Amino acid sequence: MERAAVFDVDGTLVDTNHLHVTTWWEAFRQAGHQVPMHAVHRAVGLGSDDLIAHLLGDDRDKDEDEQLSAAHKALYGQYFDRLPPLRDAGRLLRRLDHEGWTVVLATSAGGAELSALRRAIGADDAITATASADDVTEGKPAPEPVEHALELAGVPAERAVFVGDTVWDMKAGSRAGVRCVGVLCGGIPRADLVGAGAEAVYDDPADLLSSLADSPFAWLPFGQ
C-alpha cells in the first residue's frame, strides 16, 4: 500500500516563522494595535483570518480584517526572493520520495507565497501535490488541510505521517487521525508539541533525516 508523508511548510521546511512574526506585528502596529511579538509567534501557523481573530478577539472591528491581512501580505512579500530553507529540507523530501513515500505539502500559504516557499525548498521533483489555503474552507487546527492532503495522496490516515512545527499542526494532524511528528525549528517548545499530539520531536529537517530509521516513518513499512 502507498504511504503519505505530509509536511507543513512555514517553520517546518522554510525558516519563515519569525519573518511572519515581524510582518504581522508591523501590520497590527500600522493599524493601531499593540500585539506582543510572543503572542504573534504562538499564533503563527493559523490562517490569516483565524490568526487575526485569535489575537484581537471576537469583539474587534471585523471590517478591518481584510486590511490587516493585506498589510501583512505586502510586508511579507518583500522577502519572497530570499526565503531561507531549513537545513536539509529538500534532501529530506527527496529521500522520502526515493523510499516510496508520496510527499504532499499541507500549508496555510497559497498563491505567490506558496510559489516562493516551493522555490526556497527546491525539491519540486519530490512533491506530488499541495493542499494549500486556496483548497480548504477551514485551516489548521481543523483537520481539513491534512485530510485534503490525504485525499490528494490517495492514502488513508493510518498510512500517513504528518510533520509540522506548531501546536496547530499537531492538533490538525491528530484530528485527521495521522501520526504526528514535531520539529523545533519553528520556535515552539517540545512539551507544547508533545502535548498537542506529537509522537516524536526533532530539531529540524536535518535531524529528522538523520534519524529516519528510528522515527515514526520507520514504524510504517512499505507494503504493510
Torsion of CA 119, 8, 17, 202, to 10 degrees: -110
**Mean pLDDT over the full length of the chain:** 96
Query: Can you give the pTM of this predicted structure?
Result: 0.96
Residues of each domain in the chain carrying CATH 1.10.150: 17-78
Rounded CA separation 47/52 (Å): 9
Whole-number pLDDT of residue 224: 52
pLDDT at 126 over 90: yes
pLDDT digit string, tens, across residues 148-189: 999 999 999 999 999 999 999 999 999 999 999 999 999 999
Whole-number pLDDT of residue 222: 66
Q: What share of the chain in percent tops pLDDT 70?
A: 98
pLDDT digit string, tens, across residues 5-54: 999 999 999 999 999 999 999 999 999 999 999 999 999 999 999 999 99
Whole-number pLDDT of residue 106: 96
- Residue 112's CB: how many other CB atoms inside 10 A? 11
17-78: CATH topology is DNA polymerase; domain 1 (1.10.150)
Long-range CB contacts (within 8 A, 24+) of 20-23: 20/44, 20/72, 20/76, 23/72, 23/75, 23/76
Residues of each domain in the chain carrying CATH 3.40.50.1000: 3-16+84-219
3-16+84-219: CATH topology is Rossmann fold (3.40.50)
Task: Tell me whether residue 223 is exposed, middle or buried, using C-beta atoms within 10 angstroms of its C-beta: 0 to 12, 13 to 18, 19 or more.
Answer: exposed
Q: What angle do CA 33, 37, 43 make, to 5 degrees?
A: 90
Rounded CA separation 102/96 (Å): 8
Strands 179-183 and 160-164: parallel
Give the confidence band of 133 by pLDDT, cuts at 50, 70, 90: confident
Grid cell in block for residue 218: 520507520
